[in-house]
Structure 1
Amino acid sequence: MPRSPSANEEMRALARQKILGAALQVFAEKGYHGATITEITKRAGVSRGLASYYFPNKHLLVEELLDTYLDGVAAIIDVPGGPDERLAGIIDGVLTAMMSDLPVQGVILSLVVQPSTHPIFAEVEARKDERLSLLEDSLRELFEQRGAEDPAVEEIMLRSVLEGVIFKAAVYGPQYPVEQIRRRLYGMYGLSAPTTTLSGKEVRPIGRLRATDRGY
């Protein structure tokens, strides 16, 4: 019995996600230059022809991954509430997403900053300009409502701080004191201290951050 158009669409979407997930794994292990379409295809469990149909080259794979990343960044403007509630929600949303998959966060950051893939990021960012501008304007309005002297600087500062936190957490994995950093961010912006933890677990004392062969 032939599959319905909706079933075919669902299978195509699943195949794309398998390929993208495999690409993240291989990029994490071997870097952009060391990764091959053949290995990504094998890891995804799909045929080379199918993978090449969706993503004829690594450039397009990176483009899709960065596109998804920027969509996630832009989604933070959807946090409801007043200025303080929104700011706390943005901080918590970023930290929660970060903790859910640190290796992925690390791979995405490496793709953003690597000289070989940064131009791809710039292309994707240019295509997302309208939505990213909405994000920037929304954050600047938030800081204006909070009485900031220069809302534009505060918007850039918040994003820089959160991206720095993601970078350090990606480097040090479970060692990174997410809950303590969360409390520090709340204090830095004059927000009421959180009464619960994001993980639901007891906060551990801070040790010394040291890189390991595999931090996850």
Structure 2
Amino acid sequence: MPRSASTNRELREKSRERILGAALEVFAEKGYEAASISDVTQRAEVSRGLVTYYFASKQLLAAELLDRWLDGIGAILTLQGTANEKLAGIIDGTLMAAATTLPTQRLAITLMMQPTTHDVFAAVEQAKAARVVEIEDAIRAIFTARGATDPAVEEMLLRATLEGVTVKLAIYPETFPVEAVRRRLHASYELPVPATPLPIASPPVDRLRAR
């Protein structure tokens, strides 16, 4: 009996997601430059033809993963509450995402910074220009509501700080004191002390060392 159109769509989507998941794992383990389409094919346990049907090149695989990473950042647009509550949500949400999706964070950082793949990131960012501006404006609106003199600078500083924290966490996942840093960030913006710790592992403050 022939499969229905909806069943075929579901199977295609599952195959596509399987390929993307495999690409993320391979890129995270080998690095983007060293990884190949053949590596992704083997990890996904699908034919090379199926991979190239959905993604004609390694660059397109990376672009799709970066596209989803940017969409994840856009989750801040759904935050509700006062300006302080939204700011606390951005800080906590970023730390949670950094700690629980380290392969994705490492890949995004690598693709953004390496000269050979920066253009891939730039193209994705340009394609998402309207969404990026929406995110920037949402953060600036928070600082405007808090009475900031220059909300644009505050938005850039917050993003730079959180991105820096994400980099350090990606490098030192086993020794980075997430909770202590979180509370320091809350205090620096004169936010209420968090009532409970984030539900993620957080070593005590000592020294950042790779293990």
TM-score range, shorter chain: over 0.9
Partner of 1:35: 35
Post-superposition shift, 1:174? Answer: 2.5
Aligned equivalent of 1:192: 192
Q: Distance in 2 between matches of 1:152 and 1:64?
A: 29
Output one character per residue of 1:6-45: Cα deviation in whole Å (capped at 9) or x when no partner.
2211211111111111111111222122111011111011
Superposed displacement of residue 112, structure 1: 1.1
Alpha-carbon distance between aligned partners in 2 of 1:20 and 1:204, rounded to the nearest angstrom: 32
Kindly indicate whether the alpha-carbon contact (under 8 Å) linking 2:176 and 2:203 is maintained by their aligned counterparts in 1: no
Mapped to 1, the partners of 2:108 and 2:144 lie a distance apart of 31
Mean Cα deviation higher: 191-200 or 83-92:
191-200
In structure 2, the partner of 1:152 is 152
SS at match of 1:34: coil
Give deviations 1:92-127, integer Å, cap 9, x for gaps: 111111111212211211111111110011111111
Q: What amino acid does structure 1 have at the position aligned with 2:72?
A: G
CA distance in 2, matches of 1:3, 1:176: 50
- Unpaired runs of 5+ residues, structure 1, are none
Query: Counterparts of 2:23 and 2:63 in 1: how far apart (Å)?
Result: 12
Q: How does 1:51-90 map to 2 (within 5 A)?
A: 51-90=51-90
C-alpha separation in 1, matches of 2:6 and 2:186: 45
Aligned counterparts of 2:174 and 2:196: Cα–Cα separation in 1? 19
SS in structure 2 of the partner of residue 56 of structure 1:
coil
Tell me the equivalent position of 1:3. Answer: 3
| Structure 2 CA distance for aligned equivalents of residues 125 and 174 of structure 1 | 31
> What TM-score comes out, normalization by structure 1 length?
0.93
Q: How does 1:172-187 map to 2 (within 5 A)?
A: 172-187=172-187
- Aligned equivalents of 2:200, 2:70: Cα separation in 1: 28
Tell me if the contact between 2:80 and 2:86 (Cα under 8 Å) persists in the aligned partners.
yes
Q: Deviations over 1:56-78 (max 9, x none)?
A: 11011111111111111122121
Residue in structure 2 matched with residue 18 of structure 1 by the alignment: 18
**SS of residue matched to 1:192:** coil
Structure 2: which 5+ residue stretches go unaligned?
Answer: none
Residue by residue over 1:117-164, the C-alpha shift from the partner in whole angstroms, topping out at 9 and shown as x without a partner, is 100111111111111111111111110000101000000011111101
Bigger drift between 6-15 and 147-156 goes to: 6-15
Judged with a 3 Å threshold, the aligned counterparts in structure 2 of structure 1 residues 164 and 10 are, in CA distance, closer, same or farther, namely same
Give the structure 1 partner of residue 134 of structure 2.
134
What is the identity, as a one-letter code, of the residue corresponding to 1:206?
V
User: Structure 1 57/204 Cα, relative in aligned 2: closer, same or farther at 3 Å?
Assistant: closer
Alpha-carbon RMSD: 1.3
Look up the match of 1:209.
208
**Structure 2 counterpart of 1:134, one-letter code:** E
Percent of residue pairs identical: 53
Count, aligned residues: 211
